[in-house]
Amino acid sequence: MTNSIKKIKAGILGASGYTGAEAMRLLLRHPGVELCLLTADRKAGQSVDEVYPHLGGYGLPDMISVAEADWSALDVVFCGLPHGTTQEIIATLPASVKVIDLSADFRLRNPETYAQWYGHEHRAMELQSSAAYGLTEFNRDEVKNARLVACPGCYPTATLLALQPLVKAGLIDPKDLVIDAKSGVTGAGRGLRQNTLFSEAGEGLSPYSIAAHRHAPEIEQEIAKSAGVDADDIRVNFVPHLVPMSRGELVTCHVKLLGDATAEDLNAEFTKVFADEPFVRVLKEGAIAQTQMVRGSNLVVLSAFADRIPGRATVIAAIDNLVKGSSGQAIQNMNLMFGFDETLGLEQAPLFP
Amino acid sequence: MTNSIKKIKAGILGASGYTGAEAMRLLLRHPGVELCLLTADRKAGQSVDEVYPHLGGYGLPDMISVAEADWSALDVVFCGLPHGTTQEIIATLPASVKVIDLSADFRLRNPETYAQWYGHEHRAMELQSSAAYGLTEFNRDEVKNARLVACPGCYPTATLLALQPLVKAGLIDPKDLVIDAKSGVTGAGRGLRQNTLFSEAGEGLSPYSIAAHRHAPEIEQEIAKSAGVDADDIRVNFVPHLVPMSRGELVTCHVKLLGDATAEDLNAEFTKVFADEPFVRVLKEGAIAQTQMVRGSNLVVLSAFADRIPGRATVIAAIDNLVKGSSGQAIQNMNLMFGFDETLGLEQAPLFP
Amino acid sequence: MTNSIKKIKAGILGASGYTGAEAMRLLLRHPGVELCLLTADRKAGQSVDEVYPHLGGYGLPDMISVAEADWSALDVVFCGLPHGTTQEIIATLPASVKVIDLSADFRLRNPETYAQWYGHEHRAMELQSSAAYGLTEFNRDEVKNARLVACPGCYPTATLLALQPLVKAGLIDPKDLVIDAKSGVTGAGRGLRQNTLFSEAGEGLSPYSIAAHRHAPEIEQEIAKSAGVDADDIRVNFVPHLVPMSRGELVTCHVKLLGDATAEDLNAEFTKVFADEPFVRVLKEGAIAQTQMVRGSNLVVLSAFADRIPGRATVIAAIDNLVKGSSGQAIQNMNLMFGFDETLGLEQAPLFP
Amino acid sequence: MTNSIKKIKAGILGASGYTGAEAMRLLLRHPGVELCLLTADRKAGQSVDEVYPHLGGYGLPDMISVAEADWSALDVVFCGLPHGTTQEIIATLPASVKVIDLSADFRLRNPETYAQWYGHEHRAMELQSSAAYGLTEFNRDEVKNARLVACPGCYPTATLLALQPLVKAGLIDPKDLVIDAKSGVTGAGRGLRQNTLFSEAGEGLSPYSIAAHRHAPEIEQEIAKSAGVDADDIRVNFVPHLVPMSRGELVTCHVKLLGDATAEDLNAEFTKVFADEPFVRVLKEGAIAQTQMVRGSNLVVLSAFADRIPGRATVIAAIDNLVKGSSGQAIQNMNLMFGFDETLGLEQAPLFP
């Protein structure tokens, strides 16, 4: 279809997890990428068909262990490894390989904050300082020129796309942010846990990690940047909930307006800031963002509303946690890093119903 | 099983709706109640088996129209009629029949507030002034002596059980309440609506009625009462969400602590206030309320947590919207009104998984 | 509530599994039973609240290991242990303790069939021969007098209630039975398995164990008994499917009519055979059995239909796999064994929606 | 992306239904099609954004009524209208417009059978005789040259792909076919019906239209064709079930093997017949078809297994009812009719989880 594009060679580390599977699904349709390498230590030797039956039949390579990998032929790797293991593996990769990391290892710039939230000193601190924070819409220049991109967490992606422009424009108070977040169960990964069994997560709603979720310091770091203050000066209320659906993430942000700002001003700011963004959809006045609007796509949908309490507003953002919240945004970053059209491989319209 | 109890005769108006069905389910096991009359205007002439196959085989009477009803033999009616129609029908009932209303018609005490939110003047205002607000735990005396009890909405039930004691104790600021609410789809009733089709509501999360839900003024009215201020002085942020599950409701309340109050103080207050309540369960420090803990039961589960923002806290309450949020609480009120043990017919343990 | 009943003392082995939880839920409301002992080897030392939060607050004893158990005070134990481990533990129990086994260990009377399907010789063969097969409706006398009752598997329960009376009456051919079975995910238990994660089992339908499910020989054994032939002479087609719901089981049986029998004859036979059964509901001509009619209850719902192929019919049965398919039927058997009313503790109407 | 392709102009009649929405979703990514016209009588005047929020933002035309449509500029229309209304509208279209019908109006070739199952005489019988039956894999020549293509029903699509080749090869008995079918709720359409509400269809399994589903005669017609007998000589057992998932359809076919045929022979026949088919995936021995393997894609997945009853086998097929079972196959047919590559616009890999 697009023979003129020279293909780059890509690998996925941790291909047996959901972010790995989603990267495979999307890259299979990317005309500029050849998927050459898939690692999955515990599934090494298995075919894609065995690990992800829905992706059998596309001729993808078998899973191998990281130790078996030959990096020399690769242009880029996507790392979907568990937090903490990524940094050591990435440190061993040849400099010629660009790295797009989906783990949390390179998101926090302050080593002390990292150590506090992840329970150990960072083990590749020099890399950390060179990593670009891959929230594409706000960091294009850094991403374009980076060798290592740290893709944001799913919650920070939705939250920051909604709040950062408003903080930057001085429309809302960065010190009074209540982020009530909801995620589908894929957000918890493919690991075996009792609370993500169908019989436990189905037909029920569970808040979790109240005031203790690792995405909170990540949100604070970026909000602080937009507010022009130190990260320690920002504390957000962040309460996530597990929702009985597979995909989809929605953040309901309860915010305090500054000065005379109104909800209309928030929507106007969205319209202005995101006018040319291919993946950001600002809804018309009154329409409400839902996860049904984004399933399977790289879109974020935004809407803002006046609150009943004068001087306050509600800002809502919805994404597919596995696409814009993870592998889709990673590919968006890859497109930037390799000079492809930013939307390549990501043009699918949302799947509904 | 309990032959010694003299049975009262009960009817259900609007028995074809979900609250009607739930009242039937629970009353079938109530040793002190005989279900004598079921109305459902559009299903008049149909058997319970046709309208609710799961309740066939229990010998319940057929559905009839309101016009056909003989009220004289009844001790009590449960009204599960649509808002607005209830008041006119109730006004025609003989005074000997006690009325437990599940609609919104008698919840708001201020006629102007009612007219503003429901779009028409109240049509039975004299009844309204005599109605007891049936949030059982806080209004036992009124309920016991009332002829007409207005059962609270499902969201107010969960919200007020969580917040009213804390406001009353001066632990949280009644003017800074952010109530992020989530409900299963039964909360929208059995009426045919596109957004509650399985294919539309499934696998997705939708906020709705932002800052415009009729349960907001009801919450404000009762919070104001606890705070000792006028209802117009209280405005709450209330944002409900439709969650892909049938039953269950959870409110995540983001609150501002007063004085030196801490989250521990909130839990301590819960423990004190609800010590003898059969249907209120205060969780141990750190345990998180989930809807999975209450399905099919009349329980409310409560827990409070410190926020990352100093001086703020998160309070969570979970109920089954069809039981404690509706028909279960109605029966709890009936038990009080007729001198039964308050838990009669409501002893079922939650259904999980 | 029913003080006149002398309480028996019961224990649950394997209380951390779903059948254990369901036995707890139901026994909590049984006026003749005191739950004295709960074992769960891997959760020994934990409270019920920690293992099953929805059952916290009822004063149940903590989980202990089997080794710690004092059997002497018990009248009855329910065994919800994994297949294979049950037989050894049961063999060590004092003879004074009646045993109601929910595992598959004592269902197959032929030791060779057992060995073939379970991969090892039976380790308590003498007990096996004394076990009553606890499909209550068809084996009341054996159950009443048994010390050990082997409760049927969930699929056999639904299938046999539908097919055994028809085979016995000579209305259908026992050698041409196609059983297309569907189960909710709780049927797979609480163990951690990838295919029962919400994200894997949700929004999808999966056949499994085609022609290789252990419930097939159990069905064949009982069908053969009704047909008066050797178990080896009966082979059934049995294909189970995993359905994205927590509870509920439905078998669609495609059968061949014998002689001039019609679908009406099947329904008439049901009506005759089950006339006095408290837990069997034969639907009216044309009504179709659904799992929605039985959730949370001990009911089985039956219906039969003419097929488009002349001389064939479709028979459908629906149960809640955790109640009539497991713990509910176990309690029904207990009621018989101890002289209680057979419905005690099992009177709950189905939960819908 | 593919400027070299000359675009054809397409319209969708009945664009507000699920098949219409799915056609839009897929055609938005088809490089050879421009979507010029969308009709939806009851939603005439509304934007796509209002009718299907997930498809807002793609610049699609607003909905109009059929009466307002200008057909002259169109090359092709997809008809997603209700059964019965299609035939009259199609009869009025200019001959230059090719028609791909998703309704049942032109599927049955025998006018008496049509009248019997649809309750009225066919109203465009001359068109009916010219319609090609659009099960693409088996009717490429007819489809290529047709002006009017009648796309098969979703159940017939899955069933016939599984059974027609086996009947044709003489491996299975066409007179002993038991088709136990299961569908997600989108199969019931977007119309408002009580049994497809989330609260009714969720957490439950319901058989329906037993021996009375309109897809049965359609299956019989095509099976008869493969068997070389008259349609009246074939009667199949066909029992559909409503499954609590949005998309996905699976047929479990219980069949009688002819001669010495084995399940391996069935798989071998599949492998041979479908060797070059881009959308048919025959699984490896032992792997089981699931709907999770096809969601959102145009694939059908097939697998066959030996039965416990000697001489019988089980054949399973899974599709996405809205794609291969409806709009995807329609586009596959359009590709053939207009000389496009057959896979154009249909290359998406399945969405899982």
For B289-345, how does the pLDDT look when each residue is reduced to its tens digit (9 = 90+)? 999 999 999 999 999 999 999 999 999 999 999 999 999 999 999 999 999 999 999
Chain A residues within 8 A of B290 when measuring between CB atoms: 204-207
Percent of chain A with pLDDT over 90: 93
Measure the CA–CA gap between B205 and A249, rounded to whole angstroms: 8
Percent of chain D with pLDDT over 90: 93
Contact B238, B211 (CB under 8 A): yes
* B2, B28, B186 ranked by CB distance to C349: nearest: B28
Q: Mind telling me how many Å the CA of D45 is from chain C's nearest CA?
A: 34
Is the pLDDT reported for residue D93 higher than 60?
Answer: yes
Contact B241, A329 (CB under 8 A): no
pLDDT tens per residue across span B198-224: 999 999 999 999 999 999 999 999 999
Contact C105, C150 (CB under 8 A): yes
Instruction: Give the strand pairing for B98-101 and B76-79.
Output: parallel
Q: Locate tokens 């030196």: which residue?
A: B260
> Which B residues, 66 through 85, put their C-beta within 8 Å of a C-beta on chain A?
none
* C28, C52, C349 ranked by CB distance to B25: nearest: C349
pLDDT band, residue D87 (cuts 50/70/90): confident
Is the pLDDT reported for residue B288 higher than 70?
Answer: yes
* D52, D284, D293 ranked by CB distance to A54: nearest: D293
B203–D244 CB contact, under 8 Å: no
Chain D residues within 8 A of C310 when measuring between CB atoms: 235
Q: Kindly name the residue from C36, C79, C151, C154 that is annotated as catalytic.
A: C154
Task: List the single residue in D with minimal CA-CA distance to C312.
Answer: D237
> Which A residues, 250 through 279, put their C-beta within 8 Å of a C-beta on chain B?
250, 252, 254
* B202, B245, B306 ranked by CB distance to A211: nearest: B306
pLDDT tens per residue across span A18-67: 999 999 999 999 999 999 999 999 999 999 999 999 999 999 999 999 99
pLDDT tens per residue across span A116-162: 999 999 988 888 888 999 999 999 999 999 999 999 999 999 999 99
Is the pLDDT reported for residue B85 higher than 90?
Answer: no
Percent of chain B with pLDDT over 70: 99
Chain D residues within 8 A of A348 when measuring between CB atoms: 29, 348
D281–A18 CB contact, under 8 Å: no
pLDDT band, residue A4 (cuts 50/70/90): low
Q: Mind telling me how many Å the CA of C348 is from chain A's nearest CA?
A: 20
Percent of chain C with pLDDT over 90: 93
Residue D259 structure tokens: 């001669």
* C202, C205, C289 ranked by CB distance to D182: nearest: C205
**Residue C272 pLDDT:** 98
Task: Provide mean pLDDT across the span B60-64.
Answer: 98
Is the pLDDT reported for residue D327 higher than 70?
Answer: yes
**Residue C86 pLDDT:** 87
To test the contact with chain A by mutation, choose from C197, C200, C352 the residue with the greatest count of A C-beta atoms within 10 A, namely: C197
Q: Mind telling me how many Å the CA of B51 is from chain C's nearest CA?
A: 12
Chain A residues within 8 A of C16 when measuring between CB atoms: none
Task: List the single residue in D with minimal CA-CA distance to B53.
Answer: D200
Q: In what order do the strands lie in the sheet with C206-207?
A: C206-207, C237-242, C172-183, C249-257, C312-319, C300-306, C280-282
* A246, A284, A347 ranked by CB distance to D353: nearest: A246
Task: Provide mean pLDDT across the span C190-209.
Answer: 98
pLDDT tens per residue across span B109-118: 999 999 999 9
The chains in contact with chain B, meaning 3 or more Cβ pairs closer than 8 Å, are A, C, D
CA distance between the termini of chain D: 29
Q: Which domains does chain A have, with CATH numbers?
A: 8-130 (3.40.50.720), 155-321 (3.30.360.10)
Task: List the single residue in C with minimal CA-CA distance to A193.
Answer: C192
Task: Provide mean pLDDT across the span C306-334.
Answer: 98
Comparing CA positions, the residue from A164, A161, A1, A17 lying closest to residue A85 is A17
pLDDT band, residue B84 (cuts 50/70/90): confident
**Residue B261 pLDDT:** 98
pLDDT tens per residue across span D59-80: 999 999 999 999 999 999 999 9
If DSSP codes are grouped into helix, strand and coil, which group holds residue B331? helix
> CA torsion B239→B243→B248→B253, rounded to 10°?
-30
pLDDT tens per residue across span B153-191: 999 999 999 999 999 999 999 999 999 999 999 999 999
If DSSP codes are grouped into helix, strand and coil, which group holds residue B319? strand
Dmax over CA atoms of chain A, in Å, equals 62
**Residue B4 pLDDT:** 61
- Phi, psi (rounded to 5 degrees) for A79: -105, 110
B294 touches chain C (CB under 8 A): yes
Partners of D98 in the β-ladder: D76
* A175, A211, A316 ranked by CB distance to B314: nearest: A211
* Helices of type H across chain D: 18-27, 48-51, 86-91, 111-118, 125-130, 140-145, 154-168, 198-201, 215-227, 263-273, 328-337
C206–D290 CB contact, under 8 Å: yes
Task: List the single residue in C with minimal CA-CA distance to D209.
Answer: C288
> Which B residues, 143 through 182, put their C-beta within 8 Å of a C-beta on chain A?
175-176, 178, 180, 182
C29–B347 CB contact, under 8 Å: yes
D353–A186 CB contact, under 8 Å: yes
**Residue A1 pLDDT:** 43
pLDDT tens per residue across span C56-98: 999 999 999 999 999 999 999 999 998 888 888 998 999 999 9
A54 touches chain C (CB under 8 A): no
Chain D residues within 8 A of A347 when measuring between CB atoms: 29
Chain C residues within 8 A of B56 when measuring between CB atoms: 281, 293
If DSSP codes are grouped into helix, strand and coil, which group holds residue C334? helix
D295 touches chain A (CB under 8 A): yes
Element (H or E) spanning D313, and its range? strand D312-319
pLDDT tens per residue across span C117-136: 999 999 888 888 889 999 99
A28–D349 CB contact, under 8 Å: yes
pLDDT band, residue C4 (cuts 50/70/90): low
Chain B residues within 8 A of C351 when measuring between CB atoms: 25, 54, 295-296, 351
> Which B residues, 180 through 199, put their C-beta within 8 Å of a C-beta on chain C?
186
pLDDT band, residue D2 (cuts 50/70/90): very low
To test the contact with chain A by mutation, choose from D30, D54, D60 the residue with the greatest count of A C-beta atoms within 10 A, namely: D54
Residue A257: CB atoms within 10 Å: 21
Q: Mind telling me how many Å the CA of B124 is from chain C's nearest CA?
A: 33
pLDDT band, residue A87 (cuts 50/70/90): confident
Enumerate the active-site residues of A: 154
Q: Mind telling me how many Å the CA of B292 is from chain D's nearest CA?
A: 14
Peptide bond just before C310 cis, omega within 30 deg: no
B314–A243 CB contact, under 8 Å: no
C140 touches chain D (CB under 8 A): no
Q: What is the pTM of this model?
A: 0.97
Task: Provide mean pLDDT across the span C98-109.
Answer: 96
ipTM of the complex: 0.96
* A18, A190, A199 ranked by CB distance to C186: nearest: A199
pLDDT tens per residue across span D113-157: 999 999 999 988 888 888 999 999 999 999 999 999 999 999 999
Task: Provide mean pLDDT across the span B253-282.
Answer: 98
To test the contact with chain C by mutation, choose from D256, D305, D308 the residue with the greatest count of C C-beta atoms within 10 A, namely: D308
Is the pLDDT reported for residue C46 higher than 80?
Answer: yes
D353–A203 CB contact, under 8 Å: no
Q: Locate tokens 């028979």: which residue?
A: C315
Measure the CA–CA gap between D248 and D317, rounded to whole angstroms: 11
The chains in contact with chain C, meaning 3 or more Cβ pairs closer than 8 Å, are A, B, D
pLDDT band, residue A6 (cuts 50/70/90): confident
DSSP A291-326: GGGTTTSS-EEEEEEE-SSTTEEEEEEEE-TTIIII
Enumerate the active-site residues of D: 154
Q: Which of these ranges, C3-7, C219-223, D343-347, has the smallest mean pLDDT?
A: C3-7
Chain A residues within 8 A of B176 when measuring between CB atoms: 309
